[in-house]
Chain A
C-alpha cells in the first residue's frame, strides 16, 4: 500500500513517548497558530489528536487508505495536494522506529509555506525520541523565525495604526488652532477697542461710560480665559505624550504661579509667601501645565480669602501611598511624590461640596459667581493637568476655617 511511505506499524511506540492527550493539547495550540487543523495519524488512519468530528475522521481515513494519485507519486517528505475544494498538507516525519504522518487541511488557496515548514520541524523535533532531542538548533531557529515573523507582522500593523493616528492628530491640531484663532480674533478686537475707548481715544468718557467700558473689558477677558481653558481641556490627551516633560526646579514653577496671581493678590492686600523644604530636587514635569494648575489654586485661594490675610505655598518631597492603583503584586505600595500645597484663611468649602468642586463650571454657591467671579473651570483644569502626570489633588477644608489644596506628583527625582 502506497501510504506506507507515510505511516508505519512502529508508530504505536510514539504513544509511549508522548501521551495522546499531551500531544492533543500541543497540536491544538499549533492548530491555532497555523490557523488550520492538524492531525498526526497512525497506520489505521486514527488521528493521535482528536479531529473535530466523526465525519472529518472518516474523510482522513479515506484519504489515507485510498489516496489520490498525487500522494503516491514521488518520494517527497512534504507536499500539498488538492482534494475537491480542500488543500491538504502532508508531511512524513522521521522517528527512529519509522514514520508518522501529519495532515494539515488548509482552507482556501492561501497558506504560509514557511509556517508549515516550521510546524513540521517543531513536531518532528518533539516526536524524535521523546523530548530528549527536542532542543535542536533547527527547532529553535524555527521557533525564533515564528516569533520574528509574528513580531514583524505586529510591527507592520502597529506602524499602520501609528500613521493613521498621526494623520488624525494633525487634523485635530489644525482644527483646534483654527477654532482658537476664529474665536479669539473677534474677542481681541472687542477687548482692544474697549481699551482704546477707555483711554479716551475717541473722545473723553464720563464715569458712567467708563463703568460700561470696564464691564466690557472684564467680561471680554473672562470669555477669552474661558476659551483658552476649554481648548486646553479638550487638547489634553490621555497619556504623557501630550505633556512636554523636562526637569524643572520647584521654585521655578512656584515663582511663575505666584507672579501670575500677583496683581489679584495685591488688589486685596493678601500676602502670598513660599515655604520650600530642604529636600527639594529638580523634577520631571510639564512646567507650563503644572504652574498653571498651581496658579489656578492660588487664584482661588486669593479670590475666597478676606483682605489683608495670608496665603502660604509649601513644597516638599514626601513618601506617600502609591497614587495609582496597584495592578500587580510587584507595584511598590509607597512612592516618592512632590507635594505642593496652597493654604488660605478664606471662607472654606462645605464637606458635601468637596467632591463636586473639580467638575467643569461648578461653583460652590451660585451667588459666589456674582461676588467672586470666575468660570468654574480653574480647578477642573488644574485637576486635569495634575492627573495627566499621574498625580492627584487633595483637599482639606471646612466652612469658615480656610482650605488647603495639595498637588501630589509622582515624578522621577533627579539628584
Chain B
C-alpha cells in the first residue's frame, strides 16, 4: 500500500515484478539499474546464485526528488518464480501498489505463464487486495527466441486485454523502460484517485513521470518521454537466438 508522509512530503511506492520462473524479472531490474542515473538509484539487492534463479527477492530502490520538493521512493521487487516459493511470493506482494507481469513469449511456456498469472491473482486475494484494483502491465519478454507468440498474436491480445501489453528483450534492454514507464503511467492515475497526491502534494502526473524520466541516463538510453509513454512498440531484437 502506498506510504506517504505529508509532513516530510514523501511518497513510497511498491512495485513488484511477477511472473513464472526464468521469464526475465531479475533481468528487467538489472537493465533498469543500468539505465538509471546513479544518484537516483540505490544498490540492486540481489543474490547471485549459481543457476541465476532468484531465491528470495531482488530489490531495486529508486529515490527521486521532484521539482515540487516531494521525495519519491519507488521500490522495485522481484519474486522467485519457481512453484515451491509461493509463500515468499505472497509475502512480497503484501502492500503492492502496481505489478509488472513478465511473461515468456515462447509458445511452450504459455501454460507456465497462465499458472503464474492465476497464482498472482490468488495471492493478491489472500493478501486482501482486489486484483482489479491493482494496476498491472504485461510484458512478453524473450522476443529474440524461436517458437514465440507472433507479433500479430500480441496485437490481437492487446485488443482483448485491459492491461497494457509490452514486448521486450530484457537481455538487450529492449522494452524494459517502456514497460516501467507504462506501469508508472497507469499506476499514478489509479493511486492518485485513491490517495489524492495532486491535492495533498501538488504532484501532477506529468511532474511525477518527468521527474522519474530525468533520472534516466540519456547517454545509455536516448529515448524521449513521448517514446516511453507512447503506444507500446513491438520490439525487434538485434539478433535472433535459435
Contacts and interface: CB of A to CB of B under 8 A. Distances in A.
Interface in A85-142: 131-132, 134-135, 139-140
Nearest to A141: B55
A330 B103 contact: yes
B79 interface: no
Interface stretch (B43-51, B188-196, B230-238): B43-51
B203 interface: no
Nearest to A334: B153
Contact of B117 (A22, A25, A329): A329
Contact of B3 (A21, A132, A134, A148): A21
Contacts of A328: 113-114, 117-118
A148 B85 CA distance: 9
B161 interface: yes
Interface residues of B, number: 36
> Of residues A25, A135, A146, A332, which shows the largest number of chain B Cβ atoms within 10 Å of its Cβ?
A135
A147 interface: yes
Contact of B56 (A33, A135, A330, A333): A135
Contact of A329 (B55, B90, B95, B163): B163
Interface in B75-95: 84-88, 90-91, 94-95
A327 B118 CA distance: 9
A349 B165 CA distance: 45
Nearest to B48: A135
Interface string B129-159: 0000000001000000000010001001100
A25 B118 CA distance: 23
Contacts of A327: 114, 118
Contacts of B103: 329-330
A147 B95 contact: no
Contacts of B165: 329
Nearest to A326: B160
A150 interface: yes
A131 B59 contact: yes
A151 interface: yes
B118 to A, nearest CB: 6
A205 interface: no
Contacts of A33: 87, 91
A312 interface: no
Nearest to B45: A131
B223 interface: no
A330 B117 contact: yes
A135 B46 contact: yes
Contact of A333 (B3, B45, B156, B163): B156
A19 B12 contact: yes
Nearest to B47: A135
Contacts of B12: 19, 22
B1 interface: yes
Nearest to B73: A19
Nearest to A21: B3
A144 B82 CA distance: 12
Given A329-B163, A330-B103, A147 B47 contact: no
B110 interface: yes
B152 to A, nearest CB: 11
Contacts of A150: 87
B87 A330 contact: no
A271 interface: no
Contacts of B113: 328, 330
Nearest to A143: B56
Contacts of A147: 84-88
A150 B85 CA distance: 10
A22 B95 CA distance: 9
Contacts of A151: 84
B47 A140 contact: yes
B159 to A, nearest CB: 11
B160 to A, nearest CB: 8
A25 B87 contact: no
A112 to B, nearest CB: 14
Nearest to A333: B156
Interface in B148-200: 149, 153, 156-157, 160-161, 163, 165
A331 interface: yes
A25 B95 contact: yes
A300 B88 CA distance: 57
Nearest to B157: A329
Interface in A1-33: 19, 21-22, 25-26, 28-29, 33
A29 B43 contact: no
B55 A140 contact: yes
A143 B55 contact: yes
A143 B110 contact: no
Contacts of A146: 87
Interface string A265-303: 000000000000000000000000000000000000000
B44 to A, nearest CB: 11
Interface of B: 1, 3, 12, 43, 45-47, 55-56, 59, 84-88, 90-91, 94-95, 103, 107, 110-111, 113-114, 117-118, 138, 149, 153, 156-157, 160-161, 163, 165
Given A28-B94, A134-B45, 5 more contacts: A25-B95, A134-B56, A147-B84, A147-B88, A333-B156
26 contacts: A22-B12, A25-B94, A25-B95, A28-B94, A29-B91, A29-B94, A131-B59, A132-B45, A135-B47, A135-B55, A140-B47, A146-B87, A147-B85, A328-B113, A328-B118, A329-B117, A329-B138, A329-B161, A329-B163, A330-B111, A330-B114, A331-B114, A332-B107, A332-B110, A332-B149, A333-B160
Rank and list the top 3 A-B pairs by shortest CB-CB distance, nearest first. Answer: A135-B47, A330-B113, A328-B114
